Amino acid sequence: MKKRSNSIRPILVTSVFLLCSTARSYCDVAPNEKALRLTDFSDTALSFHSEIGESGEFTWWLPAGADEYVLPISAGVVVDTVRSDLMCWLRAGSPWSLLELPVLGARYSNQMAVIIVPWPHYAELIVTDRIGIRYSLPRGRHRAAPCEIVTMRRGTDPLEVARGFREWRQSATNTGKIPRARPLQKKIADMEKVTRLLGAPHFYLWGPALFSRHDIPRNKWVPFAKALLSAPPESFGGKLAKRFADDQRSALHELAAAEWPMDYLTVGLAGAINTALAGDGLLKLSREVPVAEVIRRNQQALADAFASFVNPPESWGDGLSNSLLDSLHEAGIERALLVLSDLYGRSPRPDVVAHAEKLGFLLGPYDEYHSVHSPSADPDSTWETSQFDVAAYEQGRVVNADGSGHVGFRGQGYHFSPQAAWPYMQERVNRILRQAPYSAWFIDCDATAECFDDFSPGHPATRIEDAKLRRQRLAWLESEHRLVVGSEGGSVLFADVIHFGHGVHTPYIGHLDPSFRDTQSPYYLGRYWPPDSPEQFFKPVPVPPSLKTPYFDPTVRIPLYQAALGDEVIATHHWNFDSLKFADIKQTRELMEILYVVPPMYHLNRETWPKRRDEILQHLAFWGPLHRELATAPLTRFACLSEDRLVQRTTFQPKSGEVTITVNFGAKAQAGFAPYSATATGSILMPQRVFRAEQRGP
C-alpha cells in the first residue's frame, strides 16, 4: 500500500458521467447519480462537485463490495457488512442524517475510503445494496447548497475517518459550511469559567423553585392544610388560598381531612403555592417591583404567617434550591453543570444562582426558540419556552412552499423563524439575566442543526441561512453575556459556538420501538407525572432488545465523534435517557462514559438525590479526575484487545503525556483485565487506577 501523503489540500474534480456496460456497482446509474470508483479516493483529498438540476436531487454512490462501514450514527459505529442484522438496521433507518458529523468511511480490504460532506444541510446517508450520499433540495432552490463531497484514502483503522476529517478541517482551503475547529483550550482561554465543565457531571434539576413539598415537614402538612383553610379571608393565608384553582382547593380540603399527607396531594398543593408566590397581588405590590423582589417578600410573608409549620424560606425550593446545592457540595462534588428542567422565567431564584456561583457550579435554564405556540393554547398543550405573543405566532412561523405553516414539535404550533425569534430571544435572555445572573444557558434543538427552508415573504431563508442565524444567537450568548453555552446535539456546524451538547452519545431513540410508548410494556418510558420527578426521566426501565445493538453495544460502537470533536465540545446523552435510565445496561453505559471520557448525566431533585447519591459518587470518584485532565486532550487511538471486542482501549494525548484507558465490558476476566472494569495508565494522577462497575438494582 502506498504511504499516505501528508498533504490533504483538496483537488477539485468536476464529475463526468460515463455511459458504460460494466457492473451497476460502478457505472450503471441514472443521470442524477454518480458512482464513485476506488480510484476516486487517493492520498490527497479530492473534491467532487456536480450541478443539481431542477429535480433537486443528486446521489453520490460509494463503490459496492465494502467489507466494513464506519458511520457517524450514535456518535460512531462500525458495521461489518456480512452481519445481516446490522445491515437490516441500516436499511430500515435509511436515510440517516449527516448533520452531526458529516464524514463516513468504507473499508475495502486494506484501504479506507473516506467521504466528507462540506455542505450537509441538504444531504443524507442512504443505504441500499451499497451506501450513498443523497442531496435533496426544494424545487426552485436547487442552488441553495453546492452538491459537493471530498474523498480521500486512509488506512484501515476506523479512527482514520476521524483523523482524516480533523486534518482536512484544519488545512483545507475551503471547508464549505463546516467551521474551523475552536478547541476547548481556546474556549477556556476566551472565557475562564469554561474550565468548570472539566470534571463536571451534568445534572437536570426538577421541581418547583419557590416552594416545594419538602419545605413543610411531612408530619406538619395536615396541620398546615387545616391552618390554611381556616385563615381569615384578608390574611396572607386567605389571599393565598383564594388563588388556588378548584381542583387545588379540593386537594386542600382532602389533605386537611386526611390522617397522613399523600404525595399526590402535597405535590399539587406545593405547586399551587409555588405559582401563587410569583404574583404581585398577594401583598398589593406595585407592578414596578421586580419579580425577584415580589417573590422574596411573598416568601417571607408566608414564612411569617405559618412559622410553626414551614422551614426557613432560604431553604425553600426543590431541585433549584440552596438545600440541594449544599447537599451536592457536602458530598464532595466540587464541579457540576446544573441545568434547570424548564425556563423558570416566572420563578427566578437569584439567591440560589449566587450560591451556585459561590460553590463553583455552573447553573443555567433550559430555553428554546424552535417552536412558537398560540398565546391562547390550552396549558396542557403548550410550554413556557414556546410562548411569545400573537405577532410572533402569526408572523414568525416558518412557512412551507405551499404557504402552510411548518408544524412544530409534537404537532404543536409552528416552527419559529430564527430571524423573527431574534428580538424575542434578546428580550427574554436580557430580562431573565437581570433577575438571576446565571453562568450557563441551554438552548434546545439549535445544535442538532435541524434547520428549515422558510418561504415566508417576511423572513425567507434556506436551511443554510437558517443555520447561520442560529449560530449567531448561540455565539451572542457567550460574546454578550459571557455564558457557558449548551444545546441539544453537538453538530460540527455549531461546534465552535457551543461548549457542551446533550444528545450525542445517546441520541433520542424514544420513537424507534413502540414498546417505549406501550403502558403495559416493561419498556414503557413512563408518564410525565409527578411534576417534580416525571417517570419519563426518573423511572428506570430495561432497554428494548431491538435497540441494544447497535446503540448500546460496545462491540459495534466506536468513539468516532470523540476522536473528531471530543476536545472541542463536551458532549453527552439526550436528557430523555440519562445515565441511570436503562436499568439493565447501567454497567455498560458507565464503562463507556469512562472509556470515551464522556460526562454522566443525572436527573435530580431533593427526594431522588439521597437515593442516587452513592451510585453517582462512586462513578464520579473515578471519572472526575479523568475528565479534568483529558477533556481538552484529543482521543488519538482506539483498539480492541480481545477477539470478542469486549476489551477495548482508548488513548488520549494531554500535554503531560499519553494516557490509556482500558475497559473490559465482559462478565469474565480477559487480557489481564477484571470483568466490568476500567483501568487508567499513563501520565495522570488518580486516587485509584482500577474501577469496577457494579450492577445495582433500579
State the pLDDT confidence band at 280, using cuts at 50, 70 and 90.
confident
Q: Are the C-beta atoms of 211 and 277 separated by less than 8 Å? A: yes
316 pLDDT exceeds 50? Answer: yes
Claim: this prediction has a pTM higher than 0.85: yes
Residue tagged 504511504 (cell numbers): 3
Q: Which DSSP helix (H) or strand (E) runs through 474?
A: helix 463-481
| Amino acid identity at 24 | R
Q: Is the pLDDT of residue 675 over 70?
A: yes
Name the nearest CA neighbour of 674 among 655, 654, 660, 693. 693
**What whole-number distance in Å separates Cα of residue 538 and Cα of residue 519?**
16
What's the pLDDT score for residue 483? 98
Mean of pLDDT over the chain: 94
pLDDT at res. 552 = 97
Residues 522-551: what's their mean pLDDT? 96
pLDDT band at residue 22 using 50, 70 and 90 as cut-offs: very low
Q: What is the distance between the alpha carbons of residues 477 and 459, in angstroms, rounded to a whole number? A: 22
pLDDT at residue number 190: 98
Q: Where are the alpha helices (DSSP H) in 545-644?
A: 545-551, 560-565, 586-596, 608-630
Per residue in 472-483, pLDDT tens?
Answer: 999 999 999 999
Cβ-contact 59, 36 below 8 angstroms:
no
Mind listing the pLDDT tens digit for each residue in 588-640? 999 999 999 999 999 999 999 999 999 999 999 999 999 999 999 999 999 99
**330-355 pLDDT, tens digit each:** 999 999 999 999 999 999 999 999 99
- CA dist., res. 595 & res. 638, Å (int): 10
Statement: residue 12 has pLDDT above 80: no
Burial class of residue 363, CB neighbours in 10 A (0-12, 13-18, 19+) = buried
Q: How far apart are CA 161 and CA 658, in angstroms?
A: 21
Using 50, 70 and 90 to split pLDDT, how confident is the model at 413?
A: very high
Cell 423563524 belongs to residue: 417
The C-alpha cell that represents 623 in the structure block: 471519572
pLDDT(581) > 70: yes
- Provide mean pLDDT across the span 38-45: 95
Kind of pairing between the strands at 111-116 and 147-154? antiparallel
Please, which residues have CB within 8 angstroms of residue 269's CB and are 6 or more apart in sequence? 213, 225, 248, 251, 252, 255
Residue 460's contacts (CB-CB under 8 Å, 6 or more residues apart) are: 454
Q: Say how many residues make up the chain.
A: 698
In this prediction, residues 474-494 reach a mean pLDDT of 98
Cell of 182: 475552536
pLDDT of 297 above 90: yes
pLDDT score at 691:
96
Cell output for 468: 447561520
Q: How far is CA 282 from the centre of its chain?
A: 39
The 10 Å Cβ neighbour count of residue 662 is 21
| C-alpha–C-alpha distance, residues 677 and 662, integer Å | 8
Residue range 175-190: average pLDDT?
Answer: 98
Q: Write the CB contacts of 547 (distance below 8 Å, at least 6 apart in sequence).
A: 509, 512, 513
Q: Is the pLDDT of residue 147 over 90?
A: yes
With contact defined as beta carbons under 8 Å apart, do 645 and 553 qualify?
no
At 19 the pLDDT is 28
